[in-house]
Amino acid sequence: MTDTNIESILHENRSFPPPQDFAAKARITPAELAALATEAQRDNVGFWTRLAREELSWHTKFKQALDDSQAPNYRWFADGILNASYNCLDVHLAANGDKPAIIFEGEPGDSHTLTYRQLTVEVCRFANALKAQGIEPGDRVVIYMPMVPEAIIAMQACARIGATHSVVFGGFSANSLRDRINDASARMVITADGGWRGGKSVELKAAVDAALADSGRSVEKVIVFKRTGEPVAMREGRDLWWSDAVKGQRDRCEPAWVGAEHPLFLLYTSGSTGKPKGIQHSTAGYLLSTKLSSQWVFDLRDDDVFWCTADIGWVTGHSYVCYGPLAAGATIVMYEGAPMYPDGGRFWKICEKLGVTIFYTAPTALRALMKLGNELPAKYDLSKLRLLGSVGEPINPEAWIWYHTVIGKQRCPIVDTWWQTETGAIMASPIPGVTATKPGSCTNPIPGIDMAIVDDEGHVISNPDQGGWLVVRKPWPGMLRTIWGDNARYLSNYWARFGNRYYVAGDTAHQDQDGYFWCLGRADDVLKVSGHRLGTMEIESAFVAHPHVAETAVVSRLHEIKGESIFAFVVCRGTRPTGADADRLAAELREFVGKELGAIAKPDDIRFADNLPKTRSGKIMRRLLRAIARDEEITEDISTLENPAIVEQLRGRT
Ligand code: WT7
């Protein structure tokens, strides 16, 4: 989010009603939406109870819907028993076994399709392989894979045997991988030799080896899928090839029937402290929220080809690649590589080639593609597209209008979906056949979700355009259950601010005179770089691990494509480097931080200073630093600074 975006969003008052053609065939009509909303309003728990009974296939039906006895550790449908992979696969076999489940496109151009039947067989074989390696219900399995169908197979296979997966984004470094393996005490890592990205192979197995070298005593086995064919080291007794692991395994696997609250997965995400948090999701509630939102928001019909471009390493890849659309029986597209490979027309080429009808991506990708001009998308037939989506950060109206006109040809509604790793599924979004859209607004909460904006005292703000905290006032099935191994942090992070009454998202937002929600960005020290969450503390800890760095403060600057980029003020041990020395050290530090955390965390700007501006109580004046990084006027009172001249130095002028 950028301040200029806030400006333009505040003055954005264009409104786009759903295109008539679309509305005429839409899955949810205005009357149906109104009925759902009324039902949810009258009896919220009853609403979710009905849907959980209708939409999920239960081994043992639940009697109790919401258990709030341990609130805010809410539990949903807790005495029910089911299996997530059964709900994503087996339920479709009788009527839709031969329907494509995954259409895969590799970066080099290889492609293949797996029907629901074929996918089920692959999942069962791999599930049996996991069992043969000793994996049991409740064990944690880390998945560190490229975007290939085997990543989904691995996730679904874990779900099938009741193992809890923790997918780590393939762009994270060995160090980040190691921390996540250790925090979850994973027994197994599933990886690949590598994956193709931007014409190069990303060496995943090597990173796993490095991660396990100085720790990872919990990990007993590593299964390696062969994707690139590049040579890798295999450690005797620990590592085995995917193809060997599945050899001779039966193509049926009775699902492990687990309780509704069984942890389906952990997914680590950044917060305001240095340590990433393992967001823990449930089985039934999560599945219900992702399935319903897939159907309501993406208007899924039987013949749709749905492409969510997110990597499975992020929650979007969990909810709208692996679980939601498969639970809904949809056909999904999965693409391995970089959006710009071999050129910026790749996304549009895939849309044409595979007949994509619903396309869901991030504003940062749209801004990068928009910059390349209109000729590239014009080269491809995008006429099958009927619905477009956006997620990850506020979409600036300029990118929205480009998406709408150049990609959607004004035919396709745009669903701007607001949600978080913690919410599990989409919380606010237009319902495409009903809601008039406004560029930059996620419009309204979807049925069953009770969102509000409150002031510092927790009072609901009714005055349009006054900003405040974005909160959710009622528990919902897809919500996180806790932070793995740290329930105290769950309580203090998300609930304590307003005395456990509301779930506190950490975003600021406002509602306009029509009640539409406009998210303005994070209220905490979380950055959104290319739509991905990074904590300032996490980056700062990486910096200070370098022997030359004494202290650092990280803030964000506005970036045309990334939305925000990382700007670090660094105090060195010894004297402040200048000139060529400063350039050299800055380059070294960029690499160092990239190696510590992963390439997405590499700072764009590094500025050296003799010290950092602090308040009397010793707190770093981040707001001041942010203003400096953004070249804004300084409104802070700097008279109390020990050395006010430091400001000129921080500005890079001395
Ligand atoms: C944060 C959550 C949701 C999956 C991907 C990101 C921001 C997300 C929107 C949107 C404005 C958005 C919020 C939120 N955000 N979607 N449509 N409009 N802001 O998941 O990494 O957990 O990040 O992303 O700030 O809190 P995440």
Instruction: Give the tens place of pLDDT for each residue, 35-90.
Output: 999 999 999 999 999 999 999 999 999 999 999 999 999 999 999 999 999 999 99
> Tokens 């070249």 — which residue?
631
Contact 428, 445 (CB under 8 A): yes
Which atom belonging to ligand 1 lies closest to the Cα atom of 315? Answer: 4
175 lines ligand 1 (CB under 6 A): no
41: left (phi over 0), alpha (psi -120 to 50) or beta: alpha
417 lines ligand 1 (CB under 6 A): yes
Which atom belonging to ligand 1 lies closest to the Cα atom of 505? Answer: 26
Average pLDDT over residues 147-172: 98
Looking at the chain, the number of H-run helices and the number of E-run strands are 23, 30
Average pLDDT over residues 400-404: 98
523 lines ligand 1 (CB under 6 A): no
Longest Cα separation, the chain: 74
Ligand 1 pocket mutation pick from 9, 361, 420 by most atoms within 8 angstroms of CB = 420
* pLDDT at 616 exceeding the cut of 90: no
Cα 510 versus chain centre, distance:
23
Separation between Cα atoms, residue 399 and residue 405, nearest integer Å: 10
Residue type, 526: V
For atom 8 of ligand 1, which residue has the closest CA?
A: 392
pLDDT value, residue 9: 55
**Centroid of ligand 1 to alpha carbon of 648 (angstroms):** 35
392 lines ligand 1 (CB under 6 A): yes
Residue type, 549: V
Average pLDDT over residues 221-235: 97
* pLDDT at 132 exceeding the cut of 90: yes
Average pLDDT over residues 597-603: 95
Which residues 6+ apart lie within 8 Å of 560 measured at CB? Answer: 367, 371
pLDDT value, residue 155: 99
For atom 11 of ligand 1, which residue has the closest CA?
A: 394
pLDDT value, residue 274: 78
For 121, other C-beta atoms within 10 Å of its C-beta total: 18
pLDDT band at 8 (very low <50, low <70, confident <90, very high): very low
Phi, psi (deg, nearest 5) at residue 239: -100, 140
Q: Which of 314, 268, 166, 178 is nearest to 535 (CA)?
A: 268
For atom 5 of ligand 1, which residue has the closest CA?
A: 392
**Centroid of ligand 1 to alpha carbon of 441 (angstroms):** 13
207 lines ligand 1 (CB under 6 A): no
360 lines ligand 1 (CB under 6 A): no
Please give the C-alpha separations between residue 419 and each of 73, 452, 619, in angstroms, as whole numbers. Answer: 19, 14, 31
- The CA-to-CA distance between both ends of the chain, in Å, stands at 30
Contact 481, 70 (CB under 8 A): no
pLDDT band at 637 (very low <50, low <70, confident <90, very high): confident
For atom 12 of ligand 1, which residue has the closest CA?
A: 393
* pLDDT at 3 exceeding the cut of 70: no
Q: At what angle do helices 579-597 and 174-184 cross, to 10 degrees?
A: 40
* pLDDT at 119 exceeding the cut of 90: yes
Which atom belonging to ligand 1 lies closest to the Cα atom of 429? Answer: 17
* pLDDT at 171 exceeding the cut of 60: yes
Average pLDDT over residues 131-156: 98
pLDDT band at 272 (very low <50, low <70, confident <90, very high): confident
pLDDT value, residue 2: 38
Q: Let me know how long the chain is.
A: 654
Q: Which parts of 512-601 are beta strand (E)?
A: 517-522, 526-529, 532-535, 549-559, 563-572
* pLDDT at 7 exceeding the cut of 60: no
pLDDT value, residue 6: 46
Contact 178, 212 (CB under 8 A): yes
Q: Is the pTM of this model over 0.85?
A: yes
**Centroid of ligand 1 to alpha carbon of 392 (angstroms):** 4
% of the chain at pLDDT higher than 90: 90
For atom 7 of ligand 1, which residue has the closest CA?
A: 393
DSSP 29: -
CA torsion through residues 7, 8, 14, 15, sign:
negative
- CA Rg value for the chain: 24
pLDDT band at 10 (very low <50, low <70, confident <90, very high): low
519 lines ligand 1 (CB under 6 A): yes
Ligand 1 pocket mutation pick from 533, 538, 556, 600 by most atoms within 8 angstroms of CB = 533
Q: What is the pLDDT of residues 451-510, one digit of tens each?
A: 999 999 999 998 887 999 999 999 999 999 999 999 999 999 999 999 999 999 999 999
Residue 509: both structure tokens together: 């937002």
**Centroid of ligand 1 to alpha carbon of 436 (angstroms):** 21
For atom 14 of ligand 1, which residue has the closest CA?
A: 420
pLDDT value, residue 456: 96
% of the chain at pLDDT higher than 70: 98
33 lines ligand 1 (CB under 6 A): no
Q: What is the pLDDT of residues 640-652, one digit of tens each?
A: 787 788 898 899 8
Which atom belonging to ligand 1 lies closest to the Cα atom of 442? Answer: 17
* pLDDT at 615 exceeding the cut of 90: no
For 307, other C-beta atoms within 10 Å of its C-beta total: 27
pLDDT band at 11 (very low <50, low <70, confident <90, very high): low
Which atom belonging to ligand 1 lies closest to the Cα atom of 316? Answer: 4
412 lines ligand 1 (CB under 6 A): no
pLDDT value, residue 617: 77
470 lines ligand 1 (CB under 6 A): no
